[in-house]
Amino acid sequence: MLALVLTCPGLRAGVPVASAEATARAAWLAKNPSPWEARVTPQAAQAASPSVFHATQAPGNPWLAPGRPMLTLEAADEMSSVALREATAYGFNPISVCVLDAGGRVLVLKTMPASSGLTADFAHAKASALAPFPGGVLCRDAAGVLVGAIGVSGAASDEDEHCAITAAQSVGLSTEPAASRLV
């Protein structure tokens, strides 16, 4: 009988590479502790960044989640609705509004039907990166803790910024910038 010996990139001396790598990996892990074993406890995270975890709720402000520096979904929805109403009331071009939480996650994204195609993307960019254009506004609670951001796009830059500031202040948040240039 004739025996064939084939060489294949997936084999090392007749041992599959995956098996050899798995054995080597297991040996290495036995000698070196896993970085996942030393997880950060909530207490350690609070000590490292107290402002992120210890926001105080403004008395009578139902828009912030109690005990956390977070906008509620209702607050984000109200902010976006106020921005859209403000644009309509002043006769601005159709806009898009994006409200983010303090972690940068999108809570609400609304677009007026007649707005141009990229306004939603620009609103998100203004809120998330706070690009150097008017229309991206940081939102803070009464204690000065960052709770989110709002971005508006579609109208002129000053008009976008006016809608964003008005919307954030409508739910009792302070903004950066603090006032609109239009009023």
Structure tokens at 120: 């939603």
How many whole angstroms separate alpha carbon 176 and alpha carbon 139?
Answer: 7
What topology does CATH give the domain 53-176? Beta-Lactamase (3.30.450)
Taking the C-alpha atoms of 138, 139, 141 and 143 in order, what is their torsion angle to the nearest 10 degrees? 10
pLDDT bracket for residue 135 (50, 70, 90): confident
Rounded to two decimals, the pTM is: 0.64
Instruction: Name the residue among 177, 150, 155 with its Cα closest to residue 76.
Output: 150
% of residues, the chain, pLDDT over 70: 61
In tens, the pLDDT along 144-172 reads 888 999 999 999 999 999 999 999 999 99
Asked whether the predicted pLDDT for residue 65 surpasses 70, the reply is no
In tens, the pLDDT along 42-63 reads 444 344 433 333 334 445 556 5
Q: Rounded to 5 degrees, what are φ and ψ at 150?
A: -130, 140
